[in-house]
Amino acid sequence: MTKLSVNINKIATLRNSRGGDLPNVVEFAKDVQRFGAQGVTIHPRPDERHIRYQDAYDLKSVVHTEYNIEGNPIPKFIDLVLDIKPTQVTLVPDAVDAITSNAGWDTIKHKAFLKEVIKEFKDNGIRTSIFVDADLHQIEGAKETGSDRIELYTEAYAHDYKQGNKDGITPYMECAGLANTLQLGINAGHDLSLDNIKFFKENITGLLEVSIGHALISESLYLGIENVVQMYLHRLK
């Protein structure tokens, strides 16, 4: 079964919009795990506009499933991850002012940098993953960095699926095939939803984990958090 890691950034966004501590991100992390989610994901950014660096520390003691911290490996982020030692760190090439992740790494151009950062994380017992586009050359490059896994950037797939173009899954299938051959673990995330997750899961061999936040939280406003988590788990069986 593919694991579901719930990205709770949007809960922090809602909290920050009002001030105070409601909704509480720590309690929410406890709840999604209690409802069956097998992981919690956060993506702190330098301006702390949603998840704050302190949240990352506060969550450490309550995430008893997989704790995944995403972000651009700037020095402050690297220090945070090394201090907390989550289950997994996912490296994302976000610009400082990016609203959301909008591209994968060029694993060939940035090979030396990624290799150095990944070695430091792995030396500290932290599983590593690289956010990549569905491009065979980038998958090959990811392998050469020493990363344990890749996270396929799925916005293009989600867009094509919404337009009725199921052939948009093809490059992801090809990349998954190569990743399996190279013994790279496969994660996926970005714009996956209740509408498109089942088809993606059925066609991506070896899919270990999906990280879903925006869609899951939005759907939960209508359907309820516990119900939505269970619906994802059902589709991922």
Q: Are 179 and 186 in contact (CB under 8 A)?
A: yes
Amino acid making up residue 211:
S
Q: Where are the alpha helices (DSSP H) in the chain?
A: 9-18, 25-34, 53-60, 75-84, 111-123, 136-145, 155-162, 170-181, 197-203, 214-223, 225-235
Identify whether 70 is a catalytic site residue. yes
Identify whether 50 is a catalytic site residue. no
Backbone angles phi and psi of 90, in degrees to 5:
-110, 120
Q: Which two tokens stand for residue 21?
A: 């501590």
- What burial class does residue 115 get, using C-beta atoms within 10 Å of its C-beta: 0-12 exposed, 13-18 middle, 19+ buried? middle
Active-site residue identified among 50, 66, 151, 190: 190
- DSSP secondary structure code for residue 88 in this structure: E
Residue 127, beta-bridge partner list? 88
Active-site residue identified among 66, 70, 151, 209: 70
Pseudo-torsion of CA 110, 114, 117, 120, nearest 10°?
-140
Active site residues: 43, 70, 190
